[in-house]
Every structure is written in C-alpha cells, then in structure tokens.
Chain A
Amino acid sequence: MESIAKQKIVEDLLPQKFGKPGKIWVGILLVFCALGLFAYIRQLTKGLAVTGMRDYVSWGIYISNFVFFVAISLVGSLITAVLRLSDVHWSTPLTRIAEIIAVSAITFASIIIIVDMGRPDRFYNLFIHGRLQSPIIWDVVVITTYFFVSILLLYFPLMPDLAILLKFKEKTGAGLHKLYTFLGSFWKNTNAQIHINEKAVNILSITIIPVAFSIHTVTSWLFATTYRPGWDSTNFGAYFISGAFLVGAGGVIVAMYIFRKAYQLENYITDSHFDKMGKILVLLALLYLYFNVNEFLVPAFKMKKSEEDHLLGLFTGEFAPVFWFAITTAMIIPILILVFKKGRRPLPAFIAGILVVIGSWFKRYLIVTPTLLHPFLPMHDVPASYRHYIPTWEEWSIALGSLAGAMLIITLFARIFPIIPIQETITETEQNETK
C-alpha cells in the first residue's frame, strides 16, 4: 500500500482540537453536569425528600435512567463482539464509537444507582454484608465485570493506534503525548504483539456476550422477581435485551452522524454504514415491538383485576400520552423511516436514531413508575403527595446531568483518542487492495 494513502488515513483520523461548536457543546454539557452536581449536593444534605419519590413510587426517574444506561451500554457488545465474531468487517469503523458509548453508559449507570441510594455513605455494606441471594448483588457483580471487559475491549484495539499517535508529538501536544506514552509506549507493532492482541480481543468478544446478556437480564429481574402487576413477567429478560440493542443501535447511529459531521469522516463512516445500521435498527425495532405486543397484549387479553388498572392506565389512562409517544417514537416511526432505502441515508437515519433514543428513555420510565402506582392493596393512609409521582427539579437536574456526563465522556474521549480505529482501518484497506 502506498504510504501516501496510509498517511492520509492517519491524518484524517488523528484526534482534533475542539472547534467553536465543540467548545460550546462541551460548555453546555459542563453546565448540565454542574447543575446535576449541585442538585445532588442538595439531595445529600436534605435526603431523598428533595425528590418526588415517596412510599408508593419508591423508584422514579433515577432507576429509569439506570435502566436506560444499562440498556444503551449493551451496544458495545453488539457492534464489537457480535458483528466481529460473525466476521462482519464493515462495522470496524464503528467499534470504538460503540465501545465508548458502552463504557460511559455503564459508568453512569453505576453512578446513578448510588445517587438513588438512601444511604450512599453505606455503599461499602454491599461488599461487607452482600448476600448472593439478592438480585442487586448479581447486578453489582455483572455490571462490574461488564465495565472491566468493556474497558479492555476499548483499550486493546487502541494500543496500535497509540503507537501511531506517539509519532505526532507536535500535533497532539506534550500533555496528551505523556498520556499516550503511559498507555501505549510498549507497543512495538511486532507480529507477536499483534497476534496476542488479536487473540485477547477475540476472547474478550466471546466473554462479553454472556456478560452483556447478564447485565440486562439481571436488571430486568430487579423488577421481574417481584409480584407486582406489570413486572411479574417471564418475558422480561428478553424484552429488556431486545429493547437494549434497539436503543444502543439508535445511539450509535446518532453518534456516527455527529462524529462524521464534526470531524469530516465521510470517507470512513460512509452512507453505506448508515444504510446497514439502518437495516439493523429496523430489525431491532421490529423485534422490540414483538416483545411489546407480548408484554401488553397477553395480559390485556385476560385483564386480571390486579393488572387491569395498570394496563388501562397505560393504554387510555394517565400514562397514555407517554405510552403511545414512546411506542411510536421508539419503534413505529423509526421503522417507517428506515424500512425505505431513502430513509437509510445519513440524515433521516440520524433523525430515526434520535427518536429511538428519546422514545426509549420514556419507555424505561414507563417500565418503572406506573407499576408502583398500582399496588395490590389500594393506596391509603398516606399524604396526598404520596399518591402520584412528579419528579422534582433536583431529580431532573441529576438525571440530565448524568446524561450530559455520559456524553461528555464520549466527547472528551474523541478529543483524546481517534474515534475511528486507525490501525484497523489501514489493515482493512490493505486487505481490500490485495483482494
């Protein structure tokens, strides 16, 4: 391969300094993070009383947000592991995007669960008094495992790129150069190293699939192991995982579009990538729709008394607007857009991706909250404010702050490291040429 072409790839993909829009974007995210932090400090001093949660709705948008983060993090395993192991090569430029989404989302999933705790100061109790029979402990175990496997899946393919980055000290600056040296100076690009690295990534790819399935299945069990109408379902694990792949793939399309625009990556994230991701998204949306039909139609057919209030609340009652909004924006409209070839061009696919992500967030809210408002015994002997749930500004600030924080991690990562794997792109171009 000509070194000019190689050089062009390297130059195209080197991390770039933030332009004006980048700086504004980071500034906005920082403002949201700061607001969230401020709200959390208020919550720490005053207790969870600052939230809208009360005895009946004891889990609110924090837990919705937690489920959302865990869900979207699953895409790391889909793009890097599932597609890699099925020998799909077109997804190579997307692996790092998917993996950093996974790492940042799972980080904030852990943070938001601590935010939801009444006594975060006793977090260590989970380790000194942890009991394996509680699904929460299962979640702690699998989420921690997933976090580390994801970090490794991000880091191992990065090593060859770090070696490339080290050659561009003037461009990257001394500070980042030090970081690259620390992380990757041992990489000599020898055949042995490449071989070990490839093998390690393969092992991790195989490992991460059961772990990824576990994190979201266990998260669904936090609900499904209770008796409550709307949660007491054997469908929940598969229902959660299909929804997770959907929102994750939607998130990747959104990130692809933004990175492509911001860093002029049209040659690397091509229209064909949007087309293919669009097809995946349609498939996943149909799958999730299928599970939704199962989840709602079957109990609605029977209309058991305990389920009736809950289901009617979703279909025609107080949650109907949110319910139908979530169903249409997360599934129906994206399917209608992406099922057509024209809809899989970058811009419409991007819009469909955004709809999926937003709809999915509200879907998580609907999974958590309405059920809690329909207990077995009627709500009674409580103050009026306990009978409904309206999140307070503190809750919204913390929830938005955590979303902003996750996006900030992704943004800063793309500033420091190449968001498209350089070495892998070069290798694949070479392979394509020899073919």
Chain B
Amino acid sequence: MKNNDTSRRDFIASSVLAGLTLAGCSTKDNPFEPDIQDQVQPSGETVKLLSVNGEVIEVDKAFLKPVPDLPTVSNEAARIGIPGKKFVMVIDLSRCKNLKKCQASCNHMHHIHPGQNWIKVYPMQEAEHTAPYWQPTTCMHCDEPPCVKVCPVDATFKRQDGIVLIDSERCVGCRFCMAACPYSTRVFNWEKLDLPKAISDKPYSCETSVPQKIGTVGKCDFCPDMVRKGDLPHCVAACPNGVFFFGDMNEDSVTNGAETFRFSELVKDKSGYRLMEDLGTKPSVYYLPPVNRNFPFEPEEQDTTQKNS
C-alpha cells in the first residue's frame, strides 16, 4: 500500500521534473535544467506522463529520477492536529477471529522492532463460565491520558483531534508513561532497530511514528498521516473481517472501508463500551460486545510468544 503510494508520488513529482526538462529551457539559471553529470543515456523505454500544461507526453524512462518523499507536516502542525476533527475507533469483537492482519500491517508500516507489537490481540475470558473472545487493543487515545499527565518533557502529547502522539526526538526514555498506561499499550525501543537505510535516514515524524528511535517509547498513533490523506489507518484497512471502524466523532460517522455507520447509532444499537471505564481515562476506542459472532473462538494452536522469542 505504502509502496504504491510512494511510487504514485514519485511518478507525479518525476513527471513534473521530466516535463520541465523536456520543455527545453536553455537558460543557465533554470533550476530544473539537469547538470552535466546528470546527463543520462536514453534507455529506449518510454512512459506516458501528463505535462504541466495538460498534454500527455512520452518520456524516456532514464529521465525519471526518484525524488525524496514529500515532506510530512511540520512538528508544530503535528502537535496541533487536524482542525475540527475528533477521531474515534470502534472495534467489533463479534467479528474478530485473531487473524492478526491488523497487527502485521501495523508492524510492517511502522517498522516496529521484531517481537514487539503496538496492536495486541488478547484472548479474553472474564470469568470461568463466561465466553472467551478475541480483543484487539490499540492505543486508547484517552481524553484523560495518564501517559501525557506524567511525561516530564511533553514528549507525548494530546492533540485537538483527540490523538495522542509521541515526539521521539524529544523523549528522554524515562518510561514513566509505560508505568502509567493501564492498557499496556506502550513499547520501548530497547535496542537500535535494524532498519533499511531509506527508512532510518528519514527525519522522524510524529504523525508517521517512523523511524522509531533507540531509547524512546513507541505506540499506536491512529495513523494520522493516512488520515490526513483521507485514508484509513493501516489496521482498519488491513482487517479482512471489518473489525475496526474508524471515523470522526464530529461527523458522527465511522467506517471500516466497506461499511459506514453513524457512530452514535452503532454504539447505541450494539451496546458499545470502553475498556476500564472506572479509571476515568475516557478512551477514544469503543468496543462492541462479542455477541452473534461471525466466528467461533478458537484458541491459538501455538502461543505467539513462542514464535516470536
């Protein structure tokens, strides 16, 4: 998904560059004019591009240059959030069968340390005779976040749009937030991550949470970079069973990509609830109880902990 996206951006940006190059301005001070070193031999393979004046042109592939990712929002903007929004997630427990596609896509897109997970899928059973069920947990993005309260340096913060993020360039690694979070949602980068150079060289963005930095805390970020583009968070998009609904409380709508509901009605009709309501953390993640299930509960054949260790 990300790859498609990157290549699309590359494609657009490159086409602009290529178009200008081909327009053939010969003045020396044209910033788009290729340097002598940049002169390349045409490969003979051509691609069709849309030029700046709206014409379809054919350009030799050799003239296309990859450009770096478009800059993400500034650090200041990332701290404020997306104006007018109040993000909310609804997790329908009756649809979850522990496929962990959410987890895999989250781990992949955020380049999380192997073995660690921002999304966990818990086998839950309240009491001996009650029914077991699978409970995926993300960061709860609490409205009264205990982690933000205790952070000594404002490295983890709550935005206007309800999202709780971490500035890994500021985090001092005291791990007080991990002790404070009752949902055990935070992980720590105990060692240097073995990331591809293209990822590790990127400047850290609070909105992508990439690349994770050694000695700092990481957690689910509700993918505000995706949301800004009008896309769904990775876990929502990755779940084949439509367990995760994401949306804006101000618009009163949540969607899993295939179905869209009024948030208030969905939570009302299906008796939605939040985890550990008694603690007063006011999570932004709502759960729909595991009734009328799509799948029976099947315990994991092999504990994932063994797989990961």
Q: A residues within 8 Å of B by Cβ?
A: 46-49, 51, 53-56, 58-59, 116-119, 122-123, 125-126, 129-131, 133-137, 140, 222-223, 225-228, 372, 375-387
Contacts and interface: CB of A to CB of B under 8 A. Distances in A.
Given A376-B182, A378-B122, A118 B191 contact: no
Given A118-B214, A122-B153, A384-B309, 16 more contacts: A47-B192, A48-B190, A55-B187, A118-B216, A119-B216, A122-B172, A131-B152, A131-B154, A227-B279, A377-B184, A380-B121, A381-B308, A383-B305, A386-B115, A386-B305, A387-B305
Interface of B: 103, 115-117, 120-123, 137, 146, 149-155, 170-176, 178-180, 182-184, 186-192, 214-217, 276, 279, 304-306, 308-309
Contacts of B192: 46-47
Nearest to B179: A226
Nearest to A132: B152
B150 to A, nearest CB: 5
B283 to A, nearest CB: 13
A46 B182 CA distance: 29
Contact of B191 (A47, A56, A126): A47
A129 B154 contact: yes
B190 A119 contact: no
B215 A119 contact: yes
B172 A47 contact: no
Contacts of A118: 171-175, 188-189, 214-217
A381 B279 CA distance: 24
Per CB-CB distance, the 6 closest pairs between chain A and chain B, nearest first, are: A118-B173, A118-B215, A49-B191, A136-B152, A383-B309, A381-B120
Contacts of B116: 55, 382
Is chain B's binding surface mostly helix, strand, loop or mixed?
Answer: loop
A377 B137 contact: yes
Contact of A134 (B117, B150, B190, B215): B150
Contact of B176 (A46, A130, A134): A134
B175 to A, nearest CB: 4
The interface centre, meaning the residue of B151, B172, B176 with most chain A CB atoms within 10 A of its CB, is B172
Given A48-B215, A126-B172, A129-B153, A376 B305 contact: no
Nearest to B278: A227
A53 B179 contact: no
Nearest to A51: B190
Given A55-B178, A131-B152, A227-B279, A122 B123 contact: no
A55 B186 contact: yes
Contacts of B152: 126, 130-131, 134, 136-137, 140
30 contacts: A47-B192, A47-B214, A48-B190, A48-B215, A55-B186, A56-B184, A58-B179, A59-B175, A59-B179, A118-B175, A118-B189, A118-B214, A119-B172, A125-B153, A125-B172, A126-B153, A126-B172, A130-B152, A131-B151, A134-B151, A135-B150, A140-B152, A222-B176, A225-B150, A226-B182, A380-B305, A381-B122, A381-B305, A381-B308, A382-B117
Contacts of B184: 55-56, 375-377, 379
A315 B114 CA distance: 36
B153 A53 contact: no
Contacts of A58: 175, 178-179, 188
Contacts of A381: 103, 117, 120-122, 304-305, 308
B68 to A, nearest CB: 27
B120 A55 contact: no
Is chain A's binding surface mostly helix, strand, loop or mixed?
Answer: loop
B279 to A, nearest CB: 6
Contacts of A135: 150, 176
A153 to B, nearest CB: 28
B122 A377 contact: yes
Contacts of A382: 115-117, 305, 308
A64 to B, nearest CB: 14
B150 A136 contact: yes
A49 to B, nearest CB: 3
A78 B257 CA distance: 65
Contact of A227 (B146, B154, B175): B146
Contacts of B217: 118
Contact of B153 (A130, A227, A228, A376): A130
B181 to A, nearest CB: 9
A372 B151 CA distance: 18
Nearest to A45: B192
Contacts of A136: 150, 152, 174, 176
Given A48-B188, A59-B179, A383-B308, A119 B150 contact: no
B149 A133 contact: yes
Contacts of B137: 377
A385 B305 CA distance: 9
A226 B180 contact: yes
B30 to A, nearest CB: 44
A385 B306 CA distance: 10
A382 B116 CA distance: 6
A134 B149 contact: yes
Contact of B309 (A46, A117, A126, A385): A385
B161 to A, nearest CB: 21
A122 B120 CA distance: 30
B50 to A, nearest CB: 46
Given A136-B152, A376-B276, A383 B115 contact: yes
Contact of B172 (A117, A222, A228, A377): A117
A111 to B, nearest CB: 15
Contacts of A385: 309
A133 B148 CA distance: 10
Contacts of A380: 120-123, 305
Contacts of B115: 382-383, 386
A171 B287 CA distance: 78
Given A47-B214, A381-B121, A125 B305 contact: no
A159 B231 CA distance: 71
